[in-house]
Amino acid sequence: MSLTTPVSLFQVNEQASITSPKGFISTGIHAGMKKRKLDLGAIICSVPATVAAVYTTNAFQAAPLQITQENIGVEGKLRAIVVNSGNANACTGERGIKDAKNTVKQTAEMLQIPVHQVGLASTGVIGQFLPMEKLLSGLEQVLSTANKAGGESFAKSILTTDTSTKKVQVTMNIDGKKITIAGVAKGSGMIHPNMATMLGFITTDAEIHPYHLQSLLWQATDKTFNMITVDGDCSTNDTVTVMASGLAENSPLHPNHPDWAAFQAGFTFVCQELAKKIANDGEGATRLIEVQVTGASNIDMARKVAKAIVGSNLVKSAVFGADANWGRILCAAGYGEPLIDTDQIEIKLGPILVVNKGLPVDFDETKAKEVLKQNKVDIFVDLHQGEHLATAWGCDLTYDYVKINASYRT
C-alpha cells in the first residue's frame, strides 16, 4: 500500500476481470502475430462509454495512439478497444496509419457502430508492419466471440515479455448502488520516465462526466504509473484508457459528490496496484523495490528523489546482490534533487536505520542482507524538510534482463 491509500472506502475483489463492471465483454485469441501465445483481444461496451486516456511522451507516437486520440476527440465516447501484441505498429509511416484506420473501419462495420467509437492499442516489436491478413481474420473471431467470461483471455492476449497477467478490481457503494472498477495491464520493460512500454485498461460502470474522469486519470497516473521504472527507457506505445459505461445508474460523479472520496480512492488503488504489478514483473526481476520518501518540502521534490533511487542501476544491482550499499541510495537521492539538505536525510532498509542526519550509523549487515533478500524490498527516506511524500516502485537489475533484451526480436 502507499502511505495515503484509504482502503476502508472500498472492497478489493480477488477474482478480478475487466468485464466485471456492467456493460462490458471481452476476449483474446491467437491470430498468428506471435508464434503460439494469444495476441489479439478486444473490450466491448454495450453502450457508448465515457472515455479518458493518457499517452506516451515519446515523440514517436505509434499509429494506434494517433488514431485513438483522433477518435476520442470526436465526442469522448468509445464502444470498443482492439488490442494486439507482438507488433507495435510504431515507426511504420503512412502504411501504419492506413493499417490502423483499416482495423478501426472493419471493427466499426462488424459491430455496427460509428468509426470514431473504436480505439486501438498495440505492443511489441517496433518498425514492422502489421500482418493485416492475420489481424483482420482474427478480428472477426474476437468480435463475434467476446463475452462476459473473456476477461482472462484478454489479459493474456496483451502480454509480451510479461511473465503473468496483471489484474485488479474493487467495488464500493455510491448512492446506494454497487460500483465496480476493474483494471488490466501489461508491461515489464521500458518503464520510464512516465508510464512505460505498458498498456493499461480500466473499466467501470459508474456514471461520471468526461472532464472529471480525465482529471481523475491524470491525477492517479502522476501518483502511480508515472512512479514506476524498470530500465530507464520510454516506449512509443504507452497508453492507459478508461471506459465508464454509466450502467450502475448512480448520480453523476464529481468532486463535490458525497461519495467522490470513495470512488477516487478505489480508482487510484486500481492504478497503483497495476503499477506495482508491472514493476514487480520487470524483465528478469526477482524483487519488487518500493521507495517511500517523506519529509519533502514539496511534492515534486519527493517524487524526484523516489524515482531517482528506484531507477538507479547501482541501487537495483545492489538489491539483486543483497548488498546493503546505502551510499548508492544517498547518491541517487542527491542527483534526483540537488536542493535536499544533506545534513538532515535519514535512510532505512526496511526497519534498519543505515543513515542518520546524512551520516552512516552502525547496523547489522546480516540483518540488512535478510531485508534485501525479501520478495519486496522497502527503502524509506526521510528528508526532514517538510510534510510532502511520494512512493515509487521498481525492481532489481539481474543477469536475465540482459538475456531477454539481447534477443528480444529472436
Catalytic residues, by residue number, are: 197
DSSP 319-367: HHTT---HHHHHHHHHHH-TTS-TTT-EEEETTEEEEETTEE----HHH
Q: Are 217 and 240 contacting, i.e. CB atoms less than 8 angstroms apart?
A: yes
Burial of residue 6 (CB within 10 Å: 0-12, 13-18, 19+) is middle
Amino acid, res. 53: A
CA distance 139 to 357: 60
Burial of residue 14 (CB within 10 Å: 0-12, 13-18, 19+) is exposed
Cell of 342: 544533506
Q: Are 124 and 87 contacting, i.e. CB atoms less than 8 angstroms apart?
A: yes
Q: Is the peptide bond before 6 cis (omega within 30 degrees of 0)?
A: no
DSSP 8-state code for residue 231: S
CA distance 100 to 121: 9
CA distance 11 to 19: 17
Q: Are 362 and 326 contacting, i.e. CB atoms less than 8 angstroms apart?
A: no
H or E element: which one contains 157?
Answer: helix 151-157
Q: Are 44 and 143 contacting, i.e. CB atoms less than 8 angstroms apart?
A: yes
CA distance 244 to 220: 16
CA distance 104 to 70: 12
Q: Which of 346, 355, 347, 351 is nearest to 367 (CA)?
A: 351
Distance, CA of 379 to chain centre: 21
